[in-house]
Each structure stands twice: as C-alpha cells, then as structure tokens.
C-alpha cells in the first residue's frame, strides 16, 4: 500500500469499554491503557505495600505497572491488550488475588 493512500484515513467506529463501571470510548487498535489515558485515567492499580496508585509506565509490557483486572482476570497488562467492545476493566488492589488471602 502506498503511504499516500492513508492520508485522510479515518479510524473505524469507537468501541466502549467499562472502567470501574463507567463507559470509556476506545478506538479500534487502541490498547486498554491508551483508551484509559485518552479518557484522563492515569492509574488503575494500587501497590501491595502502601496502596500507591500505578498505571502505565513503560508502555511495552516490561514493567508490570499497568496491571488491572480485565473481564474478571487479574494481573492483565493493559498496555498489551487491545480494547474490545464490552471489555470490563476494574482497578486492581495489591496482587489481584484477594480471594486467595487467608
């Protein structure tokens, strides 16, 4: 494809994901982290020690700061997951396995 063919290209229709129960628009091809950033959300996890907020840091899946619970699965790296219509992202507290604690 000639790069000039892309001039004026428009993305497909926006998708909607849910973040902590509220709708967030996401463009096709956007990661969950990018969609949250674009909506002004900068943190979606708290640390195990101290409860400090975390979000995307490296953006390439190396640092694990962007972990969140996606569709009920904890510890998902939002910088690597493409946003799909209907995805449910929830803020993750600590290690994401509160149901396993004693």
Q: Looking at residue 46, what is its pLDDT? A: 83
| Bridge partners, residue 90, by sequence | 69
Give the pLDDT of the chain (102 residues) as one tens digit per residue: 677 777 777 778 889 999 999 999 999 989 999 999 999 999 888 887 888 888 888 878 788 888 999 999 999 999 999 999 999 999 988 666 555 444
Q: Looking at residue 2, what is its pLDDT? A: 77
Contact 39, 16 (CB under 8 A): no
Query: In CATH, what number does 12-95 get?
Result: 3.10.20.440
Q: Looking at residue 7, what is its pLDDT? A: 79
Query: Where are the strands (E) in the chain, listed by range?
Result: 15-19, 22-26, 45-46, 53-54, 67-70, 73-77, 88-90, 92-93
pTM of structure: 0.80
Distance in angstroms (rounded) separating the CA atoms of residues 32 and 83: 5
Distance in angstroms (rounded) separating the CA atoms of residues 67 and 87: 15
């Amino acid at each position: 494809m000639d790069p000039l063919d892309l001039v004026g290209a428009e993305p497909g229709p926006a998708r909607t994901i849910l973040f902590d129960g509220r709708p967030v628009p996401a463009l096709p091809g956007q990661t969950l982290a990018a969609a949250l950033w674009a909506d002004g959300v900068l943190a979606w996890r708290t640390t195990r020690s101290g409860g400090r907020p975390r979000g995307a840091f490296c953006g390439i899946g190396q640092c694990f700061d962007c972990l969140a619970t996606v569709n009920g699965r904890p510890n998902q790296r939002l910088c690597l997951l493409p946003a799909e219509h209907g995805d449910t992202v929830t803020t993750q507290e600590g290690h994401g396995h509160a149901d396993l604690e004693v």
